[in-house]
Amino acid sequence: MHTKFDLAIIGSGGGAFAAAIRATTLGKSVVMIERGTLGGTCVNTGCVPSKVLIAAANARHVAEDAPERFPGIATKADPVDMAALIGGKQTLIESLRSEKYVDVADSYGWQVRRGDAAFAGTPDAPVLEVTKIDGSVETVEAEHYLLATGSRPWAPPIDGLDETEHLTSTTAMELTKVPESLLVLGGGYVALEQAQLFARLGTNVTMLVRSRLASKEEPDVSKALEEVFADEGIRVVRHAVPTRVSREIGGKVVVSADVASGTREFRADQVLVALGRRPVTDGLNLLAVGVNPGDTGEVVVTDQLLSSNPRIWAAGDVTGHPEFVYVAAHHGTLVAENALSHTERAVDYARLPRVTFTSPAIGAVGMTEKDVIAAGIPCDCRVLPLHHVPRALVNRDTRGFIKIVANADTREILGLTAVAKDAGELAAAGVHLLGKTIAEVADTWAPYLTMAEGIRIAAKAFTTDPSQLSCCA
């Protein structure tokens, strides 16, 4: 069977759906090809399940921690029924998948094919061969093609790792029993979220980190999180490079790692490898149609998301660009407009907010102090400890800070970083503050007893000692 469409999409995640929605509203014919579960990483194995479990772990932690933080409150945290927790998570996933993906696709009316897709033909005349579940093969031809196949957890070539059963960010969220002990390899956002999640469920957690926690963010972030994790019993071993992984006869996993003092061995019931992700491009036969992959298999694209073939585009994690579902969705819409309406829009990450859902969370937007200095821009910055923020005081949680980075000459705000409760909301507010002057932000309205008021106080800190400010001053 041979069918033709305006846009053929491989994948069914955030980028794929955004592209299909926009293309359909433009009156174009669309087919979506998915070999696995509809909805992609975010709803099935990424954002949604991880945040459900993080919220549950936080609820348990609050119950355990409340008597110390709030005099007069008596609560306790019992052991976790992990199987029930995972079951509840799965129920929510299935509900969202139905409401936000299956029903949406049906509502817009684009076609969905279940099967494996691979390119065939030539660079000048590419087509897709779709091998369906029943074994039949359909040839799909389109005016334009979108690769939105996402990424998967990646494990580096550590001696013995392939032969040792280990967890990934996907399989860790399928456990039906809370492990007594866990080694986490990595210090990025996935490692941070998973380490704290399991620690708050009752696991003894050790992190082996090559450099520092959240190494792409401000050094202040790493310092703040190390203090938080230490308070919560999470052991962080920095400058640790795993060299070998094995499992003892008794069942313990043993990780040998080079550390500052030499080679050490670490033991735990489970090891979670959270050292990054890699784009999913295997089996697509990209070279046959003139699509050039990058060093890690990503589809190399222009700032308009066009590959080296003028009819083939890419969106989301498969491009190697920032791995956020809202980036993928933005990509998808942009591709549909560029390919089908010739708008020639370009991706701009200058105001891209980024969030890590630890507790306190990490939220950031714009440039870090290091970025500003590297760009040769005269830099001025202030770090406001949360004990100067009234909302943090009444929350009885002053762990963290708000940092503003500015151009020392123009006084324009270039970046904002926060470690705080609701830091993601602070980063979202920061999107609209970039380019404004410190004085403008210091003089703006801010409701009292909100965390966002901390941004105003941090701006005032450029000219005033915050300890000399009264409430609302």
Instruction: Clarify whether residues 269 and 316 are in a common domain.
Output: no
Amino acid 261: pLDDT: 85
Whether residue 13 is found in the same domain as residue 126: yes
Contacts of 211 (CB under 8 A, 6+ apart): 187, 238, 239
Q: What is the mean pLDDT of residues 333-343?
A: 97
Residue with tokens 């001025």: 380
Count of Cβ atoms closer than 10 Å to residue 445 Cβ: 6
Q: Would you state the pLDDT for residue 1?
A: 67
Band of pLDDT at residue 470, cut at 50, 70 and 90: confident
Query: Is the residue at 190 inside a domain?
Result: yes
276: pLDDT strictly greater than 80: yes
Q: Lowest mean pLDDT: which of 35-39, 208-212, 416-420?
A: 35-39
Instruction: Please tell me the predicted confidence (pLDDT) of residue 305.
Output: 98
In a domain, 247, yes or no: yes
Tell me the chain's radius of gyration from C-alpha atoms.
24
Per-residue pLDDT, 395: 94
Q: Are residues 396 and 367 in the same domain?
A: yes
Residues 224 and 194 reside in one and the same domain: yes
Mention every residue, 6+ apart, whose C-beta is less than 8 A from residue 246. 160, 163, 164, 253, 254
pLDDT tens digits, residue range 162-201? 999 999 999 999 999 999 999 999 999 999 999 999 999 9
Instruction: Please indicate, yes or no, if residue 57 is contained in any of the structural domains.
Output: no
Q: Are residues 334 and 459 in the same domain?
A: no
Convert 397-435 to b/e letters by CB count within 10 Å (16 or more is b).
bbbbbbbbbbbeeeebbbbbbbbbbbbbbbbebbeebbe
Q: Is residue 56 part of a domain?
A: no
- Dist CA 328 CA 148 (whole Å): 8
70 lies in some domain: no
Q: Which residue has the higher pLDDT, 340 or 69?
A: 340
Residues 297 and 371 placed together within one structural domain of the fold: no
How many structural domains comprise the chain?
3
* Average pLDDT of the residues in 427-446: 97
The CATH number covering residue 247 comes to 3.50.50.60
Q: Looking at residues 105-117, what average pLDDT do you find? A: 95
Taking residues 201-211, report their average pLDDT: 97
Assess whether 221 and 322 both reside in one domain.
no
Q: Is the pLDDT of residue 157 over 90?
A: yes
pTM: 0.95
pLDDT above 90: residue 121: yes
Do 144 and 111 lie in one domain? The reply is yes
End of a domain among 341, 370, 395?
341
Domain final residue pick, 341, 361, 390: 341
Looking at the domain assignment, is residue 438 inside a domain? Answer: yes
421 with 330, same domain? no
Domain assignment of residue 58, yes or no:
no
Domain that holds residue 242: 171-275
Q: Of 211, 276, 205, 261, whose CA–CA distance to 238 is shortest?
A: 211
If you average pLDDT over residues 277-295, what whole number do you get? 96
Q: What pLDDT is attached to residue 241?
A: 96
The answer to whether position 68 is within a domain reads: no
For residue 320, give the amino acid letter: G
Same domain for 268 and 298, yes or no, is no
Residue 471: pLDDT above 90?
A: no
Q: What confidence tens digit (pLDDT) does each residue in 354-410 have?
A: 999 999 999 999 999 999 999 999 999 999 999 999 999 999 999 999 999 999 999
- The per-residue pLDDT of the chain, averaged, comes to 95
Domain finish residue from 320, 341, 362: 341
- Three-state secondary structure string covering 168-217: CCCHHHHCCCCCCEEEEECCCHHHHHHHHHHHHHCCEEEEECCCCCCCCC
